[in-house]
A and B are shown apart, each in its own frame.
Chain A
Amino acid sequence: MRVDPILRLIVTRLSLAFVSLFAVSLIIFSSIAILPGDTAERILGRDATKQSLEALRAELHLSDPAPLRYGRWLAGVVHGDFGRSLVADRPVLPYIGAYLGRTLVLGGLALLVHIPLSIGLGLLAAAKRDGPFDIGMSIAVLIGMSVPEFVTGIFLVLWLANDLHLFPPLALIDQAQSMGSALLMLALPVMTLNFAMTAYVVRQIRSSMIDILRSDYVRMAALRGLPPSRILLAHALPNALGPAINAIALNASWLVGGIVVVEVVFNYPGLGRLLVESIRFRDVPMVQGAALVLSATYISVNLVADLLTLLINPKLRTRTA
């Protein structure tokens, strides 16, 4: 039976994603449950009363063997039941849903800016190689890669918010009155995220673009008398998209980590900040839920990027002769 090679690739990637998700859930669960020491005590602290410890143990069914607890949790997850938050005493999932939404907005907006920005800068740097723009770009890239995102964020706040009063220092988006003020609040976090993300990717795109500009087919396009704009847009750019998306995809991992820190810096009510706070409050069900959902998002983003890279490559789009 002949199967479309594209379909086979998609299915393979999809199954790998599922296996990863499964492994992630296992790791998330076991990192909390199978750690040494008494779970209930760790959650409530050393000074907890015997009664509260007993109550917690009963609530979380801590006396059951770990695999059983894992299975129960997993079953619950599949049905949309992530348990109840120990802190808020509310079902976890709807809580997470709202926070996830806001994180996706921030991440999405950051990517929306990041993709054209890094591709454009990378192409320009390659086209004007060794010129002043390129040199300036490499300095900016170095700084972007080296400065931790919380430092960038704080500096941007100091300069653009506190000094110049262009943007609000905190992104308390659930208090935003309008779309306009919401976007203003998002501006600094998006800038902070892009400062680091773009640095890594621009470097890569520039390097692959330089290779492309040196290639035989670009040389040939020039020898056919095509104007430089045409060569860049029709011959170089399409071939650069594959490696560019690859670079952006590889960078997605950074976004998940970076967004956690950025949300804390700007007090943005997203899933990353929620995760950090629930860990601090030892809200186990919330931690498990938030971690699982964040990981699932990360895996999905990677999957999409993976598939995009494959589909853009014409060699895979068509059946070879």
Chain B
Amino acid sequence: MTDAPISARGVARPEQRHSGAVRLFRRFPISAMVAGIVLLAYVTIAVFAPIISPYSPTDIFVGSPFEPPSSLYLLGTDNLGRDVLSRVIYGSRTILLMAGSAAGLSALIGGLLGMQLGYRGGLVDEIAMRILEIIMSIPSIIFALLIVGILGASAPLVTFTVGLLSVPNVTRVVRAATQSVVAEEFVTAARARGETSLSIVLREILPNVAGTLIVEFSIRTGYAILFIGGLGFLGFGAQPPTPDWGLMVNEGRGMIDASIWPVVSPAVCMAALVTAVNLFTDGIMRIFGPAERGRIS
């Protein structure tokens, strides 16, 4: 490794760049590729919901309540006669938007914070880590329930809260990755050249930490879907009439004797979505290398 030229822009591990796309894709398992396709399908359905969906998700009594699946209503109808399929399709919009934004938020803030802390070190880093430790010692669901419960649940608030609660996790991982990058020679070289901190962070550190960040984003998305789903189930997610999968499961389970479809459909969709996200995450972890062992929420 010492023989490899240190480029002016100092990208670490130059031989990985040259290992070729073939080597890269050999490591990406088939299961992850299938998962990626499934995810793409979900996103497509969410984007084209108005076109795909046979009915409006909020129109009540398009059919009689608790109709079994038929050619008219592929997944039957719920207690208010709404088409379950349409609600499920629009529900994908809700969950993908919320979870994606939450994960994006935590990746953005956590990434910036982690890079800054990892780069600077010193007293600020020590204090910040203690604070993060204390924040992480609070069970996040209680915190989320408090905020969302007292302030009044709404999609934006839930998204914001879930995103914020994941910031410490992302920060920790990015900080660790940054520290190992900072230890490399080219950062010292950049400093010696007199580059500003901001420039160093953006040009030298970010490209090398990007992989870790992408993996974290993926992990956080899966986690956010579960969290938001749970909150929705408890009634603290997106409010009716917006279709929310978690809420649909809760609303339907009291009347499960009448029809199982209003419960089973969103449940299966959510489980399948998270499975796909997890498999995909596993796949990209193999490409970008394990930043930290142990994926736990």
Are A and B close enough to touch in the complex, i.e. CB under 8 Å?
A: yes
User: Chain A interface (Cβ within 8 Å of chain B)?
Assistant: 16-17, 19-20, 23-24, 27-28, 31-32, 35, 42, 142-143, 145-151, 154-155, 158, 162, 200, 203-204, 207, 247, 250-251, 253-254, 256-257, 260-261, 264-265, 275-276, 279-280, 282, 287, 291, 294-295, 298-299, 302
Query: Given B152, B222, B226, B234, which contacts A276 in the complex, CB threshold below 8 Å?
Result: B234
Residue of B nearest to A196 (CB): B226
**Interchain nearest-CB distance for B95 vs A (Å):** 11
Query: Given A143, A147, A150, A254, which contacts B233 in the complex, CB threshold below 8 Å?
Result: A150
Knowing A158-B260, A280-B235 touch, does A32 contact B142 (C-beta < 8 A)?
A: no
Say yes or no for B146: interface residue by CB 8 A criterion: yes
CB-defined interface of B237-258 with A at 8 Å, one 1/0 digit per residue?
A: 0000000001001100100100
Knowing A150-B249, A261-B230 touch, does A298 contact B146 (C-beta < 8 A)?
A: no
**A257 & B139 in contact (Cβ 8 Å cutoff):** yes
List 23 A-B residue pairs with CB atoms under 8 Å apart, sorted by A's residue number: A31-B143, A32-B146, A42-B150, A142-B279, A148-B233, A150-B229, A162-B256, A200-B297, A247-B296, A250-B296, A254-B296, A256-B139, A257-B227, A257-B230, A261-B234, A275-B145, A276-B145, A280-B235, A282-B150, A287-B146, A294-B139, A295-B138, A302-B137
**B267 & A154 in contact (Cβ 8 Å cutoff):** yes
Say yes or no for B209: interface residue by CB 8 A criterion: no
**Interchain nearest-CB distance for A251 vs B (Å):** 6
- Residues of chain A lying within 8 A (CB to CB) of residue B152: 42
- Residues of chain A lying within 8 A (CB to CB) of residue B277: 146
A149 to B230, CA, bound (A): 8
A35 to B256, CA, bound (A): 38
CB-defined interface of B255-293 with A at 8 Å, one 1/0 digit per residue?
A: 010001001000100110011011100000000000001
**A145 & B270 in contact (Cβ 8 Å cutoff):** no
Query: Given A20, A142, A158, A287, which contacts B137 in the complex, CB threshold below 8 Å?
Result: A20
Knowing A149-B230, A155-B267, A250-B296 touch, does A294 contact B142 (C-beta < 8 A)?
A: yes
Knowing A23-B134, A35-B151 touch, does A146 contact B271 (C-beta < 8 A)?
A: yes
**Interchain nearest-CB distance for A35 vs B (Å):** 6
**B142 & A256 in contact (Cβ 8 Å cutoff):** yes
8 nearest A-B residue pairs (beta carbon):
A279-B149, A257-B141, A146-B275, A146-B274, A20-B137, A256-B139, A151-B267, A147-B271
Say yes or no for B20: interface residue by CB 8 A criterion: no
Query: Given B139, B230, B296, which contacts A298 in the complex, CB threshold below 8 Å?
Result: B139
**A142 & B141 in contact (Cβ 8 Å cutoff):** no
- Residues of chain B lying within 8 A (CB to CB) of residue A302: 137
**Interchain nearest-CB distance for A234 vs B (Å):** 26
Knowing A31-B146, A287-B146 touch, does A158 contact B256 (C-beta < 8 A)?
A: yes
Residue of B nearest to A278 (CB): B149
Say yes or no for B140: interface residue by CB 8 A criterion: yes
Knowing A31-B150, A148-B274, A253-B139 touch, does A19 contact B226 (C-beta < 8 A)?
A: no
Residue of A nearest to B260 (CB): A158
Say yes or no for B294: interface residue by CB 8 A criterion: yes
Say yes or no for B59: interface residue by CB 8 A criterion: no
**Interchain nearest-CB distance for B39 vs A (Å):** 13
Residue of A nearest to B138 (CB): A24
**Interchain nearest-CB distance for A18 vs B (Å):** 11
Say yes or no for B133: interface residue by CB 8 A criterion: yes
**Interchain nearest-CB distance for A154 vs B (Å):** 6
Residue of B nearest to A301 (CB): B139
A147 to B266, CA, bound (A): 12
- Residues of chain A lying within 8 A (CB to CB) of residue B37: none
**Interchain nearest-CB distance for B157 vs A (Å):** 11
**Interchain nearest-CB distance for A34 vs B (Å):** 11
- Residues of chain A lying within 8 A (CB to CB) of residue B256: 154, 158, 162
A142 to B276, CA, bound (A): 10
Say yes or no for B80: interface residue by CB 8 A criterion: no
Residue of A nearest to B229 (CB): A148
| Residue among B134, B145, B293 having the largest count of chain A Cβ atoms under 10 Å | B145
A23 to B236, CA, bound (A): 24
**B134 & A151 in contact (Cβ 8 Å cutoff):** no
- Residues of chain B lying within 8 A (CB to CB) of residue A279: 145-146, 149-150, 236
Residue of A nearest to B293 (CB): A207
**B141 & A260 in contact (Cβ 8 Å cutoff):** yes
**Interchain nearest-CB distance for B41 vs A (Å):** 16
**B278 & A145 in contact (Cβ 8 Å cutoff):** yes
- Residues of chain A lying within 8 A (CB to CB) of residue B222: 146
**A148 & B270 in contact (Cβ 8 Å cutoff):** yes
Residue of B nearest to A147 (CB): B271
- Residues of chain B lying within 8 A (CB to CB) of residue A261: 230, 233-234
**B296 & A275 in contact (Cβ 8 Å cutoff):** no
Knowing A287-B149, A295-B139, A299-B137 touch, does A200 contact B296 (C-beta < 8 A)?
A: yes
- Residues of chain B lying within 8 A (CB to CB) of residue A299: 137
Residue of B nearest to A145 (CB): B278
Residue of B nearest to A200 (CB): B296
**A148 & B142 in contact (Cβ 8 Å cutoff):** no
A223 to B223, CA, bound (A): 44
**B234 & A264 in contact (Cβ 8 Å cutoff):** yes
**B134 & A32 in contact (Cβ 8 Å cutoff):** no
Say yes or no for B210: interface residue by CB 8 A criterion: no
Knowing A150-B249, A151-B249 touch, does A20 contact B138 (C-beta < 8 A)?
A: yes
Query: Given B146, B226, B260, B296, which contacts A291 in the complex, CB threshold below 8 Å?
Result: B146
**B142 & A275 in contact (Cβ 8 Å cutoff):** yes
A295 to B279, CA, bound (A): 32
Residue of A nearest to B294 (CB): A204
**B275 & A27 in contact (Cβ 8 Å cutoff):** no
A276 to B233, CA, bound (A): 11
